[in-house]
Amino acid sequence: MTSDAPLTSDARTRARTLIVTNDFPPRQGGIETFVRELADRFPPDEVVVLTSAPPATAGPGETFPYPVVRHPARTLLPTPRAAAHAGEVARRYGCDRVWFGAAAPLALMAGQLRRTAGVRTVVATTHGHEVWWARTPGARGLLRRIGGQVDTLTWLGASTRGPIEAALAPGTRTARLVPGVDTRAFHPGVDGAPVRTRYGLGHRPVILCAARLVRRKGQDTLIRALPWVRRAVPDAVLLLVGDGPYAPALRQLALREGVLDSVVLAGGHPHHALPAFYAAADAFAMPCRTRRGGLEVEGLGIVYLEAAASGLPVVAGDSGGAPDAVREGETGHVVDGRSVAATADRLVRLLRDPRSARAMGDAGRRWVRTAWSWDDAYVRLRDLLAGGAADCRTVGSCTPAAHRPTAPDQHHPYT
């Protein structure tokens, strides 16, 4: 339900965790998927979501089995008004735990929620944009303040953990919390024929990129690589799924490169529609790149994991935590996201050797099923909200070897 209505006393006693986030449906993206998937795993009477008003272009609102309270603003910011609203929601629903789905900037409200709403435990999750905060004067101090107000600040992998922990005060508690993939939805058995028919793809080899259309994601590199790819694989087509401000520029680039007839801009689609797009593809590529002198990086890239779960080989960029989502040479390849030649070379190899590509897709599927589970992520989050998780790190102290989180390319991220 989507509600701001009074509750019965019985309902107040059941709801325990308040999720505060801007990243929630109908908005689409990796963080939105992260937050939604974990929210959905709470018992409906134990979670409440406070999020921003939907975009003006959004259609009829989706219903949820748990309360979703919409703040009037289109973007929720840590203003006194927003903090007061969050405190009111926490008190009304009896929430004593808070999870900030993206730490910066909303977790700046954590201290006020403790003081005014009786919140006892706060967990805040970092992604890629917190690296910008960690490396920018002024914002760095605010991130340090967030670390001091929450019980645990989570990170995705070593590439984002390093700069973020460097900005935090000694004694700040951090832990790894990674996303997962719903392997029941994303799997090789999904029918991709309707997508191929809708976009006139026929039996052509399809390179898929599903991501917001912004410069960092590397769709322009894929378009520039396409003439190289087509010299070796003449029928290859690039399918871009997603929307964003870069769309007109990408269309013009495809025209200049002479490949407009082989680039399909399919626009944005809801997350539940994506499995069919993966099923229609032969390879997945998002050659993301770091921008703005290291301030703008990829946090991880759930789409790489969804592609792997769907049985596709993956070509990822080398920005931020993206390499953590690929086992080089086994489930796919990591390339310099600025290199057209390197991107084209890897794509040509995959498209010209379907047997090897299928082997990579099979390996990716096995890896995702073993190491990237939403259920495991949910258990981890619940443990952190309860004050547990023995393998947490403390900034400024030496973490015993037995408690160091495993590398993301090992068997399991939490053991």
| 137 and 258 housed in the same domain | no
Which secondary structure element, helix H or strand E, spans residue 112, and what is its range? helix 110-117
pLDDT digits (tens, 9 = 90+) for 308-319: 999 999 999 999
Integer CA distances (angstroms), 95 to 13, 38, 48, 226, in order = 8, 17, 8, 52
412 — pLDDT class (breaks 50, 70, 90): low
d(CA 128, CA 145): 18
**What's the pTM value of the predicted model, to 2 decimals?**
0.84
15 — pLDDT class (breaks 50, 70, 90): low
The larger pLDDT score, comparing residue 9 to residue 266, is at: 266
| 95 and 35 housed in the same domain | yes
Are the beta carbons of 107 and 146 closer than 8 angstroms?
yes
pLDDT digits (tens, 9 = 90+) for 113-142: 999 999 999 999 999 999 999 999 999 999
Residue 311, token pair as written in the block: 């049985």
Contacts of 45 (CB under 8 A, 6+ apart): 11, 14, 15, 66
Chain position carrying tokens 């952190």: 384
Instruction: Give the domain range for residue 81.
Output: 9-176
Number of domains in the chain: 2
Residue 94's pLDDT is 96
| 146 and 214 housed in the same domain | no
d(CA 169, CA 124): 16
Across residues 258-284, what is the average pLDDT?
97
Is 206 part of any domain? Answer: yes
Q: Which of 143, 176, 209 is the last residue of a domain?
A: 176
407 — pLDDT class (breaks 50, 70, 90): very low
| 206 and 239 housed in the same domain | yes
Residue 380's pLDDT is 97
Across residues 70-86, what is the average pLDDT?
97
Are the beta carbons of 306 and 365 closer than 8 angstroms?
no
d(CA 392, CA 194): 46
CATH number, domain containing residue 68: 3.40.50.2000
Please provide the distance, in angstroms rounded to a whole number, between the alpha carbons at the two ends of the chain.
36
Residue 392's pLDDT is 85
d(CA 301, CA 104): 18
pLDDT of 151 strictly over 50:
yes
95 — pLDDT class (breaks 50, 70, 90): very high
164 — pLDDT class (breaks 50, 70, 90): very high
pLDDT digits (tens, 9 = 90+) for 339-389: 999 999 999 999 999 999 999 999 999 999 999 999 999 999 999 999 887
Is 131 part of any domain? Answer: yes
| β-strand partners of 290 | none
CB neighbour class for 391 (10 Å; exposed up to 12, middle 13-18, buried from 19): middle
Is 201 part of any domain? Answer: yes
**Percentage of the chain modeled with pLDDT above 70:** 90
Residue 403's pLDDT is 33
d(CA 368, CA 382): 21
